[in-house]
Amino acid sequence: MSSSTDELIIEEKNHVGLITLNRPKALNALTLSMIHSMHPKLDQWQQDKNHVKLVLVKGAGGKAYCSGGDIRAITQERGGSVQKEFFAEEYKLDHLIGTLKIPYVALLNGIVMGGGVGISVHGKYRICTPNTVFAMPETGIGLIPDVGGAFFLPRLNGSLGMYLGLTGQRIKGRDCLHAGIATHSIDNEAIAEFETEILNNPEEVDTILTEFTVKSNFDKDKAFALEENLKTINQIFSASSLEEIFSRLEGDGSEFCGKTLKTLKRASPRSLKVAFRQISEGKKLSTLAECLNMEHRLVTRCCENDDFYEGVRALLIDRDNKPQWNPSSIEQVSDELVDSYFKPLPSEQELNL
């Protein structure tokens, strides 16, 4: 049994629901129509869990699992109905994945960013490969690390999540396992065999994943790429304010801190301040739903100001990499401005998961 569109292939094979994100030329970027197809199918499968015992999601083409939301489409109509619907429906899908009653397996082969993180990291199983590249680069385009970033980022070890959420630092291959982004690993040449095993024995998913992880050899003897800087990350990114993070980076003097500071200074000051509070607040919230409800308010406000559109212009459209942020420094972003992002929306606009 199968159904498909140009963008998404949905199949049922031997009690496995198989979803293939099928926009390889666009690095499988998530569209509203893909969300509209995935959500009801996942809902149907979990209602009939005796029929479908496991969901496996992968990306076509080998370069990306999912590189994020279709940002160009989202920004074409500023404040329009499609833009608002996209984020609301995306977060509902992320929440469903995070609460799914049947095992959800995301094969993270290639780029996993933004919206691609939302449809993977909240699932029970996330498998990294040598090609995996994870990042939450939203502050660099005037947005915030959403799709549940407020939930999973502060729950990574130490202050790693705050560091990843603010800087957009890329985590590659087995480092995703070290960081807690992935739960298992698999070699490239074993992917086809793994899929066959899962399709033939969906109820043995734990055993199969453990076996393939044990057998995977890529980067097995390499330490976590951030290992030597974890103490510094924990010391600096545990600060009680963004300004204190900048101050600690400036006072450190190491090459790592210098590069990190340079990265942060390229990002939207407004986004950095909002994201810092988002991740800090997320640590206090107990459920994914609460975090997504909060992020829906934040993203709605991001879509109402110029930084998001300026970031997309500078990095994705004109590609001059010279965004003109407003305000232009973190010192100019007032607490009142940050507070305004967190205020409730009109009742009819709230997500209310």
Residues designated catalytic: 69, 115, 138, 146
Q: Provide long-range contacts, Cβ within 8 A and 24+ apart, for 188-195.
A: 188/109, 188/129, 188/130, 188/131, 188/218, 190/215, 190/216, 191/107, 191/109, 191/129, 194/127, 195/56, 195/58
Phi, psi (deg, nearest 5) at residue 246: -60, -45
* Residues in the chain, total: 353
Other beta carbons within 10 angstroms of residue 41's beta carbon come to 18
The amino acid at 1: M
Distance CA 70, CA 73 (A): 6
**Burial class of residue 15 (count of CB atoms within 10 Å of its CB; 0-12, 13-18, 19+):** middle
Instruction: List, in order, residues 6 or more apart from 175 with CB less than 8 Å away.
Output: 219, 224, 225, 226
